[in-house]
Structure 1
């Protein structure tokens, strides 16, 4: 995700200032800063990738099972 740049003025209330009220020169971030806006999105991406992996292998397994079943029962139709 790309961060949205926000212009901060000294008159802004602390709860509206990004980075917990710390103002950085030229919008930079310090090493201890955590991007809290992507915490949930990162977890959702992680879960989504697991679901994609499971779905891909599950679908592959179903196709293999179907063709195994078809060819093993071909004389019974």
Structure 2
């Protein structure tokens, strides 16, 4: 069994922005996750604004090109 490698395709300052990006990808049939060290936000849990380190959106390697096209990001 091989382990799927996940590649970051975008980074957002706010967790809510990353959640929207993940939803856009999922609606196109692409599995995506949002990951961040500080995903709770600078004002604590429940705050949807900016985080100290940002939030990355990751997809499997075979979906990188399609995800970047949907999100309008470049390498």
Higher strand proportion (structure 1 or 2)? 2
Return the TM-score normalized by structure 2.
0.20
Highest Rg: 1 or 2?
1
Return the TM-score normalized by structure 1.
0.20
Q: Compare relative contact order (CA 8 Å, sep 6+) and give the higher one, 1 or 2.
A: 2
